[in-house]
Amino acid sequence: MKRRTFLGSLGAAAAMFAQRPHQRKPNIVFIMADDLGYADLGCYGQKEILTPNLDRMASEGLRFTQAYAGCTVCAPSRCTLMTGKHTGNCWVRGNRRPEVPLRPQDVTVAEVLKRAGYTTGMFGKWGLGPAETIGIPNRKGFDEWFGYLDQVHAHNYWTDTMWDNREEVFLQKNFGAKKGTYAQQLFTQHALHFIGRHKEEPFFLYLPYTTPHGAWDPPSDAPYTDKDWPQVKKNIAAMVTSLDADVGKILACLHEHGLDENTLVIFTGDNGAHPTPAKLFNSDAPFRGAKRDMYEGGIREPFIARWKGKIQPGVSDQVFAFWDMLPTFAEIGGGLAPPGLDGISMAAAILGKPQKRQHEYLYWEFYEKGFQQAVRMGDWKGISVKEGAPLELYDLKTDPSETKNIASSHPDIVQKIQRTMKASHSANPYWPDTRPNAPKAEG
């Protein structure tokens, strides 16, 4: 019975993305900003920062209002994206153990698509395994990659070293603390060359920019030079606008090569805004919190999907998270997702069609401010902000800003969410749960 059910599901997926004999599989381009707040783009309500290309992309595609990152900081968020497992089950669960790589059994979306016949490329920030470990991009499904292996290195936009596949290369124009080569520009150049070289075959392009993560040190503060703003505010705005310009270059490249109608392009961010830009630009409006918070401002992200001829322009309130991307791309690309995932395919929702299968709940955990947990179950949102603290409960439908803790009025919902939190966490030796009677990990 299970086998017949699985094959029926696969058949439905194949029918949805059936290609004519002369057509090939669709390209998939996933562009991700670093520390971008929900309201940092004009199409999400930003009033001061210019983002014309992303605003146009949103007008041509589907803009999602309830899409979630995998975590509230970089590395675990990227781990959920790559592996299809939430932070209660994925292997890399924090930033503070950069030496911990993905394991051989951690199958990535790049590996799934590579097996399905895709050429795979990544240019930007990885964060899931240091040099010469099993966790480097070339050993986790990427045919080629260029960028930073860990997030600490990625803080330097003017670094004098970078990884080109498995070789460390030197950026001589940055020797002696000079500012001759800006990292983001290199990522865009590599992405454009990748598209040009592989335009005749299906490709998966993962483009995790480091912008606008601090340090806020762009080549120029244009077009905000003449603004009566503090310098840091000019720099942050310039970085977001330069990111927007680079997204415009990617879209233009696809158009020039005649790939618009055979390419799904997604743009999003890895977690909420750093508190500094959040304060300067109200980046996480209308939500509470920012990066390193489990409130909506720390995990809800802009998410835009564009595929000319396949996705009709509009706005969607579909709820999903990063760990849904692996099964989604597997379905779109005709690949086979591994068993045991927390994610489910959102291919129908991405295409603007009715999404029949829905999550019963979404789960997050985070370790850098004590052990924190969050669950979204329907419109209910439960948050455990620290060990021993009472669960906070919010109704996101009536209170998306999470201002009214209504836990005392709904003890049944509180208990259900607490049971879900307990069931969703698996022990991990590198990120231990420090609560009394917590399960212990081996190794």
Q: Where are the domains of the chain?
A: 25-350, 370-424
Strand bridging mode 380-384 / 392-395: antiparallel
DSSP classification of residue 368: B
Measured CA to CA, the distance from residue 308 to residue 61 in angstroms comes to 8
> CA Rg, the chain, in Å?
21
Q: For 43-97, what is each residue's pLDDT tens digit?
A: 999 999 999 999 999 999 999 999 999 999 999 999 999 999 999 999 999 999 9
d(CA 338, CA 320): 19
Nearest partner of 129 among 117, 118, 137, judged by Cα: 137
Residue located via tokens 């270059």: 249
Give the residue with greater pLDDT, 438 vs 388.
Answer: 388
H or E segment to which residue 348 belongs: helix 347-350
In tens, the pLDDT along 389-437 reads: 899 999 999 999 999 999 999 999 999 999 999 999 999 999 987 666 6
The pTM score is 0.94
Q: Which amino acid is at 80?
A: T
Would you mind telling me the total number of residues written for the chain in this entry?
A: 443
User: What is the sign of the dihedral through the CA atoms of 31, 70, 275 and 55?
Assistant: positive
**DSSP code per residue over 66-110:** EEE-SSSSHHHHHHHHHHS--TTTSS---SS-TTPPPPTT---HH
**Please, what CATH class does the domain formed by 25-350 belong to?**
alpha beta
CATH 3.40.50.1820 correct for 370-424: no
Q: What is the pLDDT of residues 137-178, one digit of tens each?
A: 999 999 999 999 998 999 999 999 999 999 999 999 999 999
- 372 beta partners: 366
Domains 25-350 and 370-424 share a fold: no
pLDDT digits (tens, 9 = 90+) for 224-255: 999 999 999 999 999 999 999 999 999 999 99
